[in-house]
A = this chain, B = another copy of it.
Amino acid sequence: MPAASTLHDVAKLAGVSPRTVSRVVNDEGGFNESTRRKVLDAIEKVGYRPNLLARALVTRRTGTIGLVLVDMTDPYFAELADGVQQAAQDRGLTMFIAQHKGDPAMTAAVLDQLASFAVDGVIVYTARADVGAVMAHASAGLRIVVVDQIVQAPGIASLASDILGGAEAAVLHLIDQGCTRVAMVGNVQSDQSPLQPRRESGYRRALQIAGLEYVPSLVRRGEPTIEGGRLAVQSLLQGEEFDGLFAYNDLVAIGAMQALHAAGRRIPQDVAVIGFDDIAICEALVPPLSSVRLNRRLIGERALDLLEALSVGGASLEPMVLATEVVGRGSSVNRLR
């Protein structure tokens, strides 16, 4: 375990002051080409690597961000995390990741920890997180971007996909494919947050635009999981007639397709199905699942943009809404054989 070498070691070997080495490392200019080479040689020789802790202590920028989410094993979150991670890596930022598993106390704890590391900013997926804790940290000076929910609060930037528009487009897509009775499986947990039922609003708006009647019994709610989707559709199948189904997310849609299949309904001929989020597995299903794509890479990029803007502007910013896109696949297109 060789002790890491420092600017001083390099300086001694190159015969210059540590400050000059620092200049070369950071390419600040103000040195001769010949000294630059001497320094670079010395760096190579002693295997110098800048100590980012020390640098951060004085510059007050760590080059790190924190990502806080519910659970990274959920493919939706995993893919969002991947988007942020890629964007961060491209910008030379290193990413902490922390989960709160839906526990509000944990949210506060991990935000505390990240704040203590003086991260340059934190990106929080608020689903079931404690928004109060988030806001408290923001007022304590932590730069925070909330993703997937619009939060109007000082010191917080927020960013969300256009869920309502995406839902509307998804249902209109089903209607375009010839569906006339479109059912929906929503999320029971949406009740907890009054702002949430955006998918249901989009569903109703689409029906209205198409001039179709809104039938309350065609809307069921369940857990946002495969099992939840299966149960909800089993219940729908007992008594309801429908030829299209809009699911809360892709996992729910997978469960729904299983239930439809078990009941002998053909997809998409008897029932066209569309999910939400467009997780990777959609393409591999049989039939491939139509869905609403959120541009995860873009979300990551924009979230980092907002963090940078918070650093510069200081104040809070306009919430940002990103467009979504319907991806039609085998579960909904070419129904007419």
A interface list, Cβ under 8 A from B = 1-4, 47, 49-54, 56-57, 62, 64, 71-73, 75, 78-79, 81-82, 85-86, 89, 94-99, 110, 112-118, 140-141, 155, 225-227, 251, 254-255, 258, 261-262, 280-281, 284, 286, 314
**Out of B51, B79, B225, which one reaches A118, CB within 8 Å?**
B51
Closest to A259 in B: B286
**Out of B62, B89, B262, which one reaches A53, CB within 8 Å?**
B62
Complex interface: chain B residues within 8 A of A64 (CB): 96, 117
Complex interface: chain B residues within 8 A of A1 (CB): 141, 155, 314
Complex interface: chain B residues within 8 A of A54 (CB): 57
Copies in the complex: 2
Nearest 5 interchain pairs by C-beta: A226-B284, A97-B97, A52-B116, A78-B78, A258-B286
**Out of B85, B86, B117, B284, which one reaches A94, CB within 8 Å?**
B117
Complex interface: chain B residues within 8 A of A79 (CB): 73
B226–A281 touching, CB < 8 Å: yes
A308 to chain B, nearest CB (A): 15
Complex interface: chain B residues within 8 A of A85 (CB): 72, 97-99
| Complexed CA–CA distance, A271 and B155 (Å) | 59
Complex interface: chain B residues within 8 A of A95 (CB): 96-98
State whether A71 and B75 are in contact (beta carbons under 8 Å apart), knowing that A98-B94, A141-B4 are contacts in the complex: no
Closest to A143 in B: B1
| Complexed CA–CA distance, A99 and B96 (Å) | 12
Interface centre among A49, A251, A258 (most CB of B within 10 A): A49
Complex interface: chain B residues within 8 A of A99 (CB): 82, 85-86, 89
Listed by A's residue number, 29 A-B pairs whose Cβ atoms lie within 8 Å are A1-B141, A49-B115, A51-B116, A51-B118, A52-B116, A53-B56, A53-B117, A53-B118, A57-B57, A64-B96, A64-B117, A71-B82, A72-B72, A73-B75, A75-B75, A78-B78, A82-B99, A86-B99, A89-B99, A94-B96, A95-B97, A95-B98, A96-B96, A96-B97, A226-B281, A226-B284, A227-B284, A258-B286, A262-B286
State whether A49 and B286 are in contact (beta carbons under 8 Å apart), knowing that A72-B82, A314-B1 are contacts in the complex: no
**Out of B78, B89, B116, B261, which one reaches A73, CB within 8 Å?**
B78
Complex interface: chain B residues within 8 A of A89 (CB): 98-99, 110
Complex interface: chain B residues within 8 A of A280 (CB): 73
A81–B72 touching, CB < 8 Å: yes
| Complexed CA–CA distance, A85 and B71 (Å) | 10
Complex interface: chain B residues within 8 A of A117 (CB): 52-53, 64, 94
Complex interface: chain B residues within 8 A of A140 (CB): 2, 47
Complex interface: chain B residues within 8 A of A81 (CB): 72, 97
A163 to chain B, nearest CB (A): 21
